[in-house]
Amino acid sequence: MKEGGVLVVKIGGSCFSDKKVPKSLFIDVIDGVCEQLQSIGMPVVIVHGGGSYGHPIAKKYAIHDGHRDDIPDQTMGFCLTHDAMVELNHVIVGRFLEHGLPAYPVQTSAVFVHRNGVVINSNLAPVDALLDQGFMPVLFGDSVIDESRGFGIISGDSIVVELANGLDHEVNNIVYLMDVDGLHDKNPKLDETATLFTEVFLKGERMLVQQDETLVSIEDAIDQADGSIDVTGGILKKIRALRYIKRHDITIALINGRAASRLAALIAGDDVPRTRIVIQDGDDADG
Ligand code: IPE
């Protein structure tokens, strides 16, 4: 892992919860992450996803679609989505405090404003100020105001991009904590022959992986017949969002956040199972 600068850790919802069971939370996973961060010698920003808290409510009220006349009580749904995220954030931050980590929640929907699903306004000054004072800011996927659609959802993945591009502090490392070792050619939970991609290249819209000496599109390298396409599609979209990170020298790794000491080993510079994300200049055709 690169020396100096800030480490951004995204704790994915699938890592700490079972998305199919509303408001399920694996406290032991959160505790494990805390233990591994206890002796960390660098500034850290935590971003956590919605998991079984934010997603089911956001989906029920179609908050990600923006305002829709055909959905009753959507305004309440916007508030309830945020409320579920605050509830989750409170528990997560509570575990960090219990472990002596100076975690401080940053009310994410007060930091970002969307227009057409894209961040057009962000105020990261409080995050920089917290880092200046040695705190560990904690942001989270949230319901946000959208100037043109009324409202929407900001994912933890967009937040990671905003932090990398917008913080005064230099972000040097980004780690995604998943429930598997990284991106695979098959769903590793369903097929033990699944192979981990050790490197994925983001080149404009394209995601490329090495296969038989050549780089091929990840969609062509993934076995889409194993019934896991929803899961895979979800994570591919999240990782593809990272192409908007402007600096290409940031070290980005996807690792297993449920494995006992993976994060600590990565931070220590050990060679752990991971998918490294390499952002490259896009082709002209990609805009
Ligand atoms: C989603 O954030 C937030 C809400 C649904 C409110 P993410 O998209 O980052 O969440 P995960 O990591 O997939 O759970």
Instruction: Give me the percent of the chain exceeding a pLDDT of 70.
Output: 95
For residue 173, report the phi and psi dihedrals to the nearest 5 degrees. Answer: -135, 140
Distance CA 197, CA 221 (A): 10
Q: Residue 233: how many CB atoms within 10 A of its CB?
A: 13
At residue 224, does pLDDT exceed 80? no
Q: Is residue 173 part of a domain?
A: yes
**pLDDT tens figures, 23-76:** 999 999 999 999 999 989 899 999 999 999 999 999 999 999 999 999 999 999
Residue 35 is predicted with a pLDDT of 97
Question: Is 55 inside a domain boundary?
Answer: yes
209-230: average pLDDT = 74
Domain CATH code at residue 134: 3.40.1160.10
Distance in angstroms (rounded) separating the CA atoms of residues 89 and 195: 34
The span from the CA of 73 to the CA of 60, in Å, is: 10
Does residue 1 lie within any of the structural domains? no
List Cα–Cα distances, 15 to 134, 184, 229, 272, in angstroms. 26, 16, 18, 17
**Closest atom of ligand 1 relative to the 17 alpha carbon:** 14
Tell me if 16 is assigned to some domain. yes
Q: What is the mean pLDDT of residues 230-239?
A: 66
**Domain count of the chain?**
1
Which residues does ligand 1 sit against, CB inside 6 Å? 12-13, 49-51, 54-55, 58, 81, 85, 141-143, 153, 155-157
List Cα–Cα distances, 91 to 18, 24, 83, 256, 277, in angstroms: 16, 12, 13, 21, 30
Q: Determine whether 41 is exposed, middle or buried from the number of CB atoms within 10 Å of its CB (0-12, 13-18, 19+).
A: exposed
